[in-house]
Amino acid sequence: MSALVLRFSALGDVVLAAGVTAALGDVVFGTSAALAPVVERFEGVRAVVALTPGESPWSFAERLPAVDRVIDLQGSLRSRAVCLLVNQPTTRVTKHTARRHLRVAFKVAPPPLSVAERYAEAAGVRLGPTPWLRRSPSPPQGCIALAPGAAHATKRWPEARWVELARRVEGPVVLLGGEAEAPLLARIAEGAGRADLRQLAERGFERTLHALEGSRAIVANDSGLMHLAGALGVPVIGLFGPTTPEDGFWVWAGQGRALGVALPCRPCARFGGLRCPIGDHACMEGLGVEGVLAALGEICSAGAGSRPR
C-alpha cells in the first residue's frame, strides 16, 4: 500500500520522519524544496514532491502521484488542505501536544513517546534501527564533527566552549553549519588555531551529508544537524539547555549521549528563544568541556582516528 507522507519543515522534524518511511516503504514524501535533497536519501521513499516557495495547496496536490493513504505529520492548514484535495484515508499527528505546553509552564511529566515514536504510531509501524538514510559508498574519514549552531540562541553552547573543544579533540575535526553560520565557524576555527580543522558551511546538504558519513561521532546542540547525524547512524553527543531530552526529540540514546544540567527551570521553552528568561543561561553555561570530552571518549572506539586528549 503506497503512502503520502507530508512534513514540510523544519530540518529536524523532517529527519525524524525518516524512521517512518524506512519502516513503511513505497512512500511519496511531500516536503519543502529546500529539504528535498535530504528526503531523497530517506529509506523507503520512492518519490519526493517539493513544495516551492509560495505554491498553493491546489497546485502542489495536482503534482502528487496516486497513493492509497496519507500520513500528515505537519498538521498545518496547508497540509490539511492537501489532504482534502488528495481525498484518501488520512492519519494526522502533530508534534506539539497539550502535555508539551503544560510541561514548559508547569514542569509536568514528559510525554511518554518521542516525536519519532508518535510519528511511527500514527503510521502504524515500529521504528527500526538506523541508518534511516541511504548512505553513499564513500569510505569513512574518521573525523569528529562539531555542529555549534542552532535555530534559537538559547540552544547554543557558548562559543568559547566550542573553541576549547575544537582545540582539544585530536585528529581530524570538521565544523558543520548552514550558510548563515559561516562567521561562527570561522571564529571557532581561528580561536582553535588548528591548521587541520575544516569548516563546512553551505546552503544545501550535499557536502554536509558527505562529511557526516565520514564522521566517527558528532557533538551538536539540539538542532537539525544533530538529528541528521543520528538518522545516518553517526554516534551523537547532544547538548541540551532550554529543552530536555525527555521532551520528545531525543531518539538517539542507543547511539550516543544527551548531556544537560539538572535545573528546576528546565524546560523553559518548546523551541528555545532569543535569551534566557532568568538571565543566567545556566543550562548551557553549566555544561563543561571536560564532561563533553568524557562523553565523546566513551562513544569513540579506541585506536585510530580522533580521541579527546
Rounded to an integer, what distance in angstroms lies between the CA atom of residue 160 and that of residue 151? 19
Indicate the domain borders of the chain. 3-123, 143-299
pLDDT of residue 305: 39
Q: How many other β-carbons are positioned within 10 Å of the β-carbon of residue 84?
A: 12
Task: Report the range of poorest mean pLDDT among 72-81, 89-98, 134-143.
Answer: 134-143
Bond prior to 37 in cis (omega within 30° of 0): no
What's the rounded Cα separation, in Å, for the pair 69 and 90?
6
Strands 143-147 and 173-178: parallel
**CATH 2.60.40.10 matches 143-299:** no
Angle, in degrees to the nearest 10, between helices 289-299 and 159-168: 50
**How is residue 52 written as a grid cell?**
516551492
Amino acid at 304: A
Mean pLDDT of the chain: 94
Residue 282 in this model has a pLDDT that exceeds 90: yes
Q: Does the pLDDT of residue 301 top 90, yes or no?
A: no
Distance CA 252, CA 233 (A): 9
Q: For 48-60, what is each residue's pLDDT tens digit?
A: 999 999 999 999 9
Task: For residue 279, count CB atoms less than 10 angstroms from its CB and return exposed for 0-12, middle for 13-18, buried for 19 or more.
Answer: exposed
Supply 172's cell numbers: 581530524
Q: Which CATH architecture has domain 3-123?
A: 3-Layer(aba) Sandwich (3.40)
Same fold, 3-123 and 143-299: yes
**Percent of the chain scored above 70 by pLDDT?**
96
What pLDDT was estimated at residue 137? 81
DSSP assignment of 23-89, as one string? HH-SEEEEEEGGGHHHHTTBTTEEEEEEEPTT--HHHHHHTPPP-SEEEESS-SHHHHHHHHHHTS-
pLDDT of residue 307: 38
Output the pTM of the full model.
0.95
Give mean pLDDT, residues 217-231.
Answer: 98
- Give per-residue pLDDT as tens, 29-44: 999 999 999 999 999 9
pLDDT value of position 140: 66
pLDDT for the residue 162: 98
Using CA atoms, how far residue 144 sits from 3, 229, 237, in Å, is 37, 12, 11
pLDDT surpassing 80 at residue 309:
no
Q: 82 pLDDT exceeds 90?
A: yes
Give residue-wise pLDDT tens across range 153-205: 999 999 999 999 999 998 899 999 999 999 999 999 999 999 989 999 999 99
Residue 83 clears pLDDT 60, i.e. is over it: yes
